[in-house]
Amino acid sequence: MSRLDARAVAGGTSQTSLIERAARSCVRVIRGRYTRRPAAVLCGPGNNGADGWAIARLLRAADWPVTVYTLTPQKDLTGAAGQVAKGSGLTAEPLRAFRPEAAGLVIDALFGAGLSRPLVGDARGALDSLAEAAVPVVAIDLPSGVDGATGSVLGTAARAEVTVTFHAPKPGHLLSPGLGLRGELVVTDIGLPQDAEPDAHWNGPCLWTLPVPERDTHKYARGAVLVFGGPRIAGGAARLSAHGAARIGAGAVTVASPEEALDIYAAHLDAIMVKPVTDAASAKRLIEASKAKALVIGPGAGRTDATRSHVLAALETRVPIVVDADALTVFEDDPDTLMQALHEKAVLTPHIGEFGRVFPDIQGDKLSMTAAAAARAGTTVLLKGADTVISTPSRVPVINTSGTPWLATAGAGDVLTGAIAGLMAQGLGAHDAACAGAYLHGLAGQRGGRGVTADDLPGLLREAGRAVATR
Ligand SMILES: NC(=O)C1=CN([C@@H]2O[C@H](COP(=O)(O)OP(=O)(O)OC[C@H]3O[C@@H](n4cnc5c(N)ncnc54)[C@H](O)[C@@H]3O)[C@@H](O)[C@H]2O)[C@@H](O)CC1
Ligand SMILES: [K+]
């Protein structure tokens, strides 16, 4: 945003006219959603505060009762905030005097993109009391206290009902905890130039295309997937992956089962084939015999030597693969071996616990952590959560927020793993398959809603795919 801002200003647009446009767009959103009521506008010392002053002026002109509360004494304001405050004809109260109960609506314009350190003092006090209150909050650009680059909270932040941001969503709107604090996100156009190289993409169907089979195809050409299954007692996870792969359009899905569990898998599966696997050599033979174009290993696999040797055997074939769950955890004591075996057609799908086991030294915010992991693995890493991040070396990282809290249910991740493999089997590259799989999986969860279970997800995935596909 600072790049675009500078380019706009160099192109002859003044900072104050950008502020005026931003404020007008905020007031349009506010008046479209709330009836006239006493509004408290909390203003900070920078351009976020300048937006606040301009919004206060416009609301007052529309006959709203408005009180401005300023962190910096009005006479000490400098820069755009000083200029806009002066031009507003309004007189502010000190932020210390702010009581949320007295307002019908609070406009949070304390800090936006310029937040650079944790909130303390009056700003912290005001936001803490706001966070406790029941009054609706409209955040300008970001809920103050949320770091726009990472979504983390510096000190404190109050949950907004609506956040109005300018030009494009920022990572802080899409990554937790910012994701949960920003409420409804409204992005308004204030006439800034487009940026060719954003820091991240927000996942959606404009980033990838779902594969469509040829008219004269056959089941193996539609994509064969081989899912490594675990022991008798843990077979559900691999079956969920297998259904996920099939319901996202793979033509032939096989579960590789340990001998002792063959009968259980066979009794539970109809459209999915079941074949025995014993050691690493038999795993390789089965990958070839099943004509697999993508592999799944990890869900319910068991933290065993067999899992470890199957992972390494599978990676040696260089068939596209999703490595998940136990297939990651078995390398906890020796992540280097996994890193060396990985190739660029692999996707790792850890949750944060599994991530810590294979990348124990990588810390920080979710975007940087995932990028560092992808660089080390030399391939796509998908770090799960309400704010899934997908990172691939030399690709712009992608943040996925499709989904619902109802997706936090046992086995949902196994279906995602299968879905990604199903898309790779149909020809998508690792990065696109991870993005499309995560998006459709989230959409499937949304369609399921309250009480959705992992068993429901493959069917819902099919509906989600049909809704997104063009043919
Ligand atoms: N980038 C753009 O193109 C546009 C930006 N606009 C607004 O400008 C905002 C960014 O403005 P600024 O860069 O001035 O940044 P902010 O207004 O977010 O804050 C910067 C000011 O806050 C101080 N500060 C930072 N952290 C603090 C803390 N913890 N405690 C106390 N003081 C702290 C800084 O020293 C600086 O004075 C955006 O969020 C947006 O609201 C809009 O006016 C429209 C156009
Ligand atoms: K703000």
Q: What is the pLDDT of residue 77?
A: 98
Q: What is the pLDDT of residue 469?
A: 83
437-467 in b/e form (b: 16+ CB < 10 A) is: bbbbbbbbbbbbeeebebebbbebbbebbee
52 C-beta closer than 6 A to ligand 1: no
Nearest atom in ligand 1 to 121's CA: 30
Instruction: State the pLDDT confidence band at 435, using cuts at 50, 70 and 90.
Output: very high
Residue numbers in the known binding site for K(+) are: 48, 108, 144
Percent of the chain clearing pLDDT 90 (strictly above): 95
Phi and psi at 172, nearest 5°, equal -60, -20
Distance 73 CA to ligand 1 centre (A): 17
- What is the longest distance spanned by two Cα atoms in the chain? 81
Nearest atom in ligand 1 to 23's CA: 43
d(CA 210, CA 107): 42
144 C-beta closer than 6 A to ligand 1: no
CATH superfamily of 2-198: YjeF N-terminal domain (3.40.50.10260)
Domain formed by 205-468, architecture:
3-Layer(aba) Sandwich (3.40)
Span(s) in the chain for CATH 3.40.1190.20:
205-468
Query: For residue range 192-250, what is the model confidence (pLDDT) as tens digits?
Result: 988 778 899 999 999 999 999 999 999 998 999 999 999 999 999 999 999 999 999 99
Instruction: State the pLDDT confidence band at 2, using cuts at 50, 70 and 90.
Output: confident
Instruction: State the pLDDT confidence band at 471, using cuts at 50, 70 and 90.
Output: low
74-83 in b/e form (b: 16+ CB < 10 A) is: beebeebbbb
User: Facing residues of 388 across strands?
Assistant: 400
Hey, which of 116, 120, 164 would you mutate to test ligand 1's pocket, going by the most ligand atoms within 8 Å of its Cβ? Answer: 116
CA-CA-CA-CA torsion sign (283, 287, 290, 293): positive
Contact 417, 296 (CB under 8 A): yes
Tell me the CB-side half-sphere exposure of residue 230, using CA atoms within 13 A.
25
19 C-beta closer than 6 A to ligand 1: yes
Nearest atom in ligand 1 to 8's CA: 3
d(CA 39, CA 59): 9
Residue nearest to atom 25 of ligand 1 (CA): 115
Q: What is the pLDDT of residue 467?
A: 93
Q: What is the pLDDT of residue 123?
A: 98
Q: What is the pTM of this model?
A: 0.96
Q: Could you tell me how far CA 438 lies from the centroid of its own chain?
A: 9
User: Facing residues of 296 across strands?
Assistant: 227, 322
Percent of the chain clearing pLDDT 70 (strictly above): 99
- What does R_g of the chain's alpha carbons equal in angstroms? 26
20 C-beta closer than 6 A to ligand 1: no
Q: What is the pLDDT of residue 9?
A: 87
Mean pLDDT along residues 329-351: 98
Other C-beta atoms closer than 10 Å to the C-beta of 291 total 16
Residue numbers in the known binding site for (6S)-NADPHX are: 47-51, 112-118, 141, 237, 300, 351, 414
115 C-beta closer than 6 A to ligand 1: yes
Mean pLDDT along residues 100-124: 97
d(CA 354, CA 255): 23
Hey, which of 48, 107, 141, 192 would you mutate to test ligand 1's pocket, going by the most ligand atoms within 8 Å of its Cβ? Answer: 48
Mean pLDDT along residues 134-156: 98
Burial grade of 189 (CB within 10 A; 0-12, 13-18, 19 or more): exposed
Mean pLDDT along residues 165-189: 97
End-to-end CA distance of the chain: 37
The single residue listed with the structure tokens 């998908």 is 382
Mean pLDDT of the chain: 96
Q: What is the pLDDT of residue 193?
A: 85
Mean pLDDT along residues 360-381: 98
β-pairing, 398-400 vs 388-391, is antiparallel
d(CA 426, CA 272): 17
d(CA 3, CA 145): 22
Distance 371 CA to ligand 1 centre (A): 27
Nearest atom in ligand 1 to 109's CA: 41
Contact 107, 30 (CB under 8 A): yes
Q: What is the pLDDT of residue 1?
A: 83
Prior bond of 177 cis (ω within 30°): yes
Distance 140 CA to ligand 1 centre (A): 11
Non-local (6+) Cβ contacts of 363 within 8 A are 369
Residue nearest to atom 31 of ligand 1 (CA): 119
Q: Kindly tell me if the per-residue pLDDT of 361 is higher than 80.
A: yes
Query: For residue range 11-25, what is the model confidence (pLDDT) as tens digits?
Result: 899 999 999 999 999
Non-local (6+) Cβ contacts of 10 within 8 A are none
Q: What is the pLDDT of residue 78?
A: 98
44 C-beta closer than 6 A to ligand 1: yes
Query: For residue range 71-110, what is the model confidence (pLDDT) as tens digits?
Result: 999 999 999 999 999 999 999 999 999 999 999 999 999 9
Query: For residue range 411-427, what is the model confidence (pLDDT) as tens digits?
Result: 999 999 999 999 999 99
Q: Kindly tell me if the per-residue pLDDT of 277 is higher than 70.
A: yes
109 C-beta closer than 6 A to ligand 1: no
Hey, which of 47, 58, 140 would you mutate to test ligand 1's pocket, going by the most ligand atoms within 8 Å of its Cβ? Answer: 47
143 C-beta closer than 6 A to ligand 1: no
Span(s) in the chain for CATH 3.40.50.10260:
2-198
117 C-beta closer than 6 A to ligand 1: yes
Written as six digits, the tokens of 265 are: 């898998």
